[in-house]
Structure 1
Amino acid sequence: MLQASPFFQAGRMGAYPLGQGRYRFSVWAPLLERVELKLLTPVEGCLPLARDDQGYWQAEVDGIPPGPVDYLYRLHTQAGVVERPDPASRCQPHGVHGPSRVVDPHFDWQDQGWKGIPLSQWILYELHVGTFTLEGTFAALIPRLPELVELGVNVLELMPVAQFPGERNWGYDGVYPYAVQTSYGGAAGFKALVNACHQLGLAVILDVVYNHLGPEGNYLRDFGPYFTTKYHTPWGDALNFDDRYSDGVREFFLQNAEYWLEEFHLDGLRLDAVHAIYDFSAYPFLQELAEQVDALEARTGRPRVLIAESDLNDVRLITPREQGGYGLDAQWCDDFHHSLHTLLTGEKTGYYQDFGELEHLAKAYRESYVYSGQYSCYRARRHGNSAVGRPGSQFVVCIQNHDQVGNRRLGERLSQLTSFEGLKLAAAALLLAPMLPLLFMGEEYGEVAPFLYFVSHGDPDLVEAVRQGRRREFSA
């Protein structure tokens, strides 16, 4: 017989097993008057959840028989009762609209001797799990790892793997930040990949998206004020990092970062487009995240790295906290790419209009930021501040990446835009730079296949809206 008992303590969001048929469920919904747990398998039942003073609805449920535990939350809203998957779901076996499934976090790890790689020695290789192999899975990647080791890279950077609609997606339309995409192999497949990487001497970092969620299957608004109308992003209302009730939203993403780093043994996270994380609080989310990861390092004795993607050219992101910065470890540096790309291709449209002189590349080598406070024609204002004094090991540079290829209308790689001699020159410029080099999948052998933005949303109207939005955003 099912029995639900309330518990009121800080803990992981989501659902997880406690052993012997006992499970814990916790969801944040601060504005709702009633939330229930609806169990679907292996036994059906509807159980009440108890609310604490922070808006977390929680229960420990005993008596669940063996088998996959699928569930939904019944939300009693002013408009009526709706049933929704768990925002912190660890698994969505039936897609983004279906029920959530509890995942046992246990895995037979064999990387106990892994100590990590010093950041200053990183050579990164960015890849998309769904397109790197014909099968498009974590398991299919494992036999290819020795090739990457032989190539000389030592860090695998994976584009986002959070659950998205359909079977195919670029990765930036995820709507369940804790759930590993089922078509890739789910949580167990991801852990097996990390385990294999560590045994071969490869570190693994994951691209995570804390600035927006995708449009299809995004039910966060039904649970609470996850979004705010104070700020607008290219994807709509901004995630709520500094408005009313923002503590719960911040905790959702803080726990998410720790979940990836601790449960999946990841060596770091690449934080997508942090310039779209709007937070003007006295204690910025990015600083809080960096402090939390530092605490995790101290607790586990293994380094974890946070790398920001930002187009602000703001050195405060990677300046130590004791010097007034946020204390992130490194950031992507697009100025290097733009400087080299324009010299090789002659392109001058869009943001490339700010580059094209040899001195731009020379300054990127010297100072990382090319725009460090001077006027930008593309932005029609002054841009950036100075990164002088920050070591090259805090900047990841590339001659290609998913953005610079996938955000082109035809998805052309550099191999289609310059000569073979130009490619060799670009490779030398990258590998001899005093920063951390990143290769994009296939770059090492001059891949010519385009890498376009792609989705498999279920709603034809949404697909058309995305198509038109991309045309407008990247018209240049």
Structure 2
Amino acid sequence: MEIATEARYPKSEMVGMGAIVVEEGVSFRVWAPNAKKVFVMGDFNEWKKNTVPLVREDNGYWSVEVPEAKAGQQYKYVLKTKAGELIRNDPYARELTNSVGNSIIHDPTFEWGEDHFQCPHRNEMVIYELHVGTFNVKEEGKPGDFYSVIERLNYFKSLGINAIELMPVAEFPGGYSWGYNPAHPFAVESEYGGPRGLKELVKAAHAKGIAVILDVVYNHFGPTDMDLWQFDGWQENGLGGVYFYNDWRAKTPWGDTRPDYGRPEVRQYIRDNALMWLDEYHIDGLRMDMVPYIRNVNADGNPANDLKEGYSLIQWINSEIQAHFPGRFTVAEDLHSLDCITAPVEHGGLAYSSQWDGEFVHPIREAIITAHDEDRDINKVAKSIMHRYNHDAFERVIYTESHDEVANGKARVVQEIAGREDVNTWYAKKRSTLGVALMMTSPGIPMLFQGQAILEDKWFEDTDPIDWSRFSEFKGIVKLYRDLIHLRLNKQGVTRGLTGQHAAMLVIDNDRKLIAFHRWKDGGAGDNTVVVMNFSHQAIEDYAVPFPEEGLWKIRFNSDWEGYDSDFDNYFSHDTQATGHRENEALIARVAIGPYSTIVYSKE
């Protein structure tokens, strides 16, 4: 019986892993080097375990072509091993019924239309990080999904956001999770709408001029609901088997599930996963989670703990992306402030497009959360503004809130400032928006976290949806965010300098808590931009600031305007004239600025 069956089902001639729909049926290929025999079962053979064997190929691969199989059917592999009979989901499955369910033969066909979308250039990118499950919940007791995100795309459009960053969407256990516990890395979370839902979101976002960046997790897998664990029965030291390290290198803060970056088949698995998102889903960029744990066992910088094979794997992936998907964006979560993270491979770097910048978020959060003005260090603020990697202002992503910064014992900026349940206080609104103004005017790629513009309070939880009623309550604050983003993107044609590489400090006054800096791209009218910020609760009047060019400088933004919030002081500030000074010929302009406020000037 088995001989006849094997003759009936030949090995696959199709290149590629997993279940691939072909004209003659479905090609199945799986890597199980320690299995004695492998079968596939599913809807196509009434789930009979031992009737559809796979043919052994080289290097531990097995394949078969099954004419009766078709897209939409469910399936699993049956592995005969020294550890006994194992029933496993496909490591390359694009779709599952759920994290403990069955693999689904996925048909990748999708009508993309004329999708020639180009990711915004780094100097013109404004990112909005969101969690699909909590961003726009439509039904109590169920997480949000890709379709509910689509409903809010006009919100991003009106705000000026041109890139959304999705926290991980690979299939995870249950329906509620941050997403940083991928059980099935190639499958899209079923609760969120699966593969089709993600494609619909990307297509709709592109139609509105919005890029989609996806968070991916390669520093560990799982650790639960994970068929990769001891996949083909082999393991050492009770650890994870062929997909994982089986010694001290397996240990991570999230479980002993670090992939074996040195094993060629695992390297290929991770590389294939990264490129899949860009190819099959038209994703515009990848943000890689906790890169320090890919390049070092303990992320401690100790050379004895370096994972050179992890480092080279990242270099390979980023090189592949640059070669096959030029213009796509890659960003590292690596807060160790190293030039090598974004340096090119030929210079020994990892070649990310940009990196999350700990030299910005931590000092700036401290500056705006600190209660007493005298404890605020303006020198640290100035250093944060001027920091860059490899002399490139846009090799860093700057932010005051992210999923990490507003959870795990930390709260939203407005909550940290308010220090009580109600965040609708003058101090919380003034200092939180001061931080956002600094983020939108400093060199770098600015990033918001979901709900930030509507002063979402407390902290991030995967079961606590965004309260969209706050949009009406804080519509003036939303307008403030919108105006800052439009300035950042030079929507009015008078602040092009905010898209430029160049910055210079004009004033660092730690006594008065005032800072002023010049931003420019090429220089000249509509380009040269001056930002003045008051980090004190006292208004400052008639302050002399050296300006870069003579003439009339017009106010383009004043965060103290009462139109943003009725509690704001509407302190009288004015356009200013920069003129020469007799003693040193510096161009001096007199400015007046309200408490905890930002003024942006430029010349027409």
Tell me if both proteins adopt one fold, taking TM over 0.5 as the criterion: yes
Q: Counterparts of 1:436 and 1:398 in 2: how far apart (Å)?
A: 8
1:327 to 351, 355, 360: 351
Quote the offset at 1:454 in angstroms.
Answer: 5.9
- The amino acid that maps onto 1:87 is P
Q: Counterparts of 2:54 and 2:71 in 1: how far apart (Å)?
A: 22
Aligned to 2:286: 269
Relative to structure 1, the CA distance from residue 306 to residue 18 in structure 2 (aligned partners, 3 Å threshold; closer, same or farther) is: same
Is residue 2:161 matched to residue 1:153? yes
2:185 to 171, 177, 189: 177
Aligned to 2:433: 424
Count of residues in correspondence between the two structures? 417
Aligned to 1:311: 335
Q: How high is the sequence identity, in percent, across the aligned residues?
A: 35
Aligned to 2:540: none
Unpaired runs of 5+ residues, structure 1, are 348-354, 369-386, 456-476
Kept after mapping to 2: 8 A contact 1:250/1:285: yes
Q: Name which of structure 1's ranges 206-215 and 216-225 shifts more when overlaid on structure 2.
A: 216-225
SS at match of 1:405: coil
1:123 to 122, 126, 135: 126
Is residue 2:108 matched to residue 1:88? no
Kept after mapping to 1: 8 A contact 2:126/2:445: yes
Quote the offset at 1:60 in angstroms.
Answer: 1.6
SS at match of 1:359: helix
- The amino acid that maps onto 2:215 is D
Is residue 2:409 matched to residue 1:401? no
User: Residue deviations 1:220-244, cap 9 Å, x none?
Assistant: 122242111242211233523444x
User: Residue deviations 1:177-222, cap 9 Å, x none?
Assistant: 1111111111001100000000100010100001112222112122
Relative to structure 1, the CA distance from residue 213 to residue 240 in structure 2 (aligned partners, 3 Å threshold; closer, same or farther) is: closer
Quote the offset at 1:7 in angstroms.
Answer: 3.1
Aligned to 1:469: none
Length-normalised TM-score, structure 1: 0.83
Is residue 2:256 matched to residue 1:237? yes
Quote the offset at 1:412 in angstroms.
Answer: 2.4
Aligned to 1:459: none
Aligned to 1:217: 225
Which structure has the higher relative contact order (CA within 8 Å, separation 6+)?
A: 1
Kept after mapping to 2: 8 A contact 1:40/1:70: yes
Q: Counterparts of 2:45 and 2:365 in 1: how far apart (Å)?
A: 56
Coordinate RMSD, CA, aligned: 2.3
1:197 to 179, 189, 205: 205
Q: Counterparts of 2:462 and 2:135 in 1: how far apart (Å)?
A: 15
Q: Counterparts of 2:83 and 2:444 in 1: how far apart (Å)?
A: 54
Unpaired runs of 5+ residues, structure 2, are 139-143, 232-240, 296-306, 418-427, 465-604
Relative to structure 1, the CA distance from residue 390 to residue 50 in structure 2 (aligned partners, 3 Å threshold; closer, same or farther) is: farther
Kept after mapping to 1: 8 A contact 2:336/2:358: no
Aligned to 1:345: 369
SS at match of 1:361: helix
Aligned to 2:54: 49
SS at match of 2:404: helix
Aligned to 1:358: 378
Kept after mapping to 2: 8 A contact 1:238/1:277: no
Matching of residues 259-298 of structure 1 within 5 Å: 259-278=276-295, 279-281=307-309, 284-297=312-325
Quote the offset at 1:322 in angstroms.
Answer: 2.5
Aligned to 2:360: 336
- The amino acid that maps onto 2:369 is T
- The amino acid that maps onto 1:249 is V
Aligned to 2:596: none
1:252 to 266, 269, 275: 269
Q: Counterparts of 2:219 and 2:313 in 1: how far apart (Å)?
A: 11
Structure showing greater radius of gyration is 2
SS at match of 1:284: helix
SS at match of 1:392: coil
SS at match of 1:156: strand
Q: Counterparts of 2:63 and 2:379 in 1: how far apart (Å)?
A: 59
Q: Name which of structure 1's ranges 251-260 and 412-421 shifts more when overlaid on structure 2.
A: 412-421
- Which structure 1 residue ranges, 4+ long, deviate > 6 Å from structure 2? none
Quote the offset at 1:282 in angstroms.
Answer: 9.4
Kept after mapping to 2: 8 A contact 1:35/1:57: yes
Q: Counterparts of 1:447 and 1:111 in 2: how far apart (Å)?
A: 37
Relative to structure 1, the CA distance from residue 59 to residue 444 in structure 2 (aligned partners, 3 Å threshold; closer, same or farther) is: same
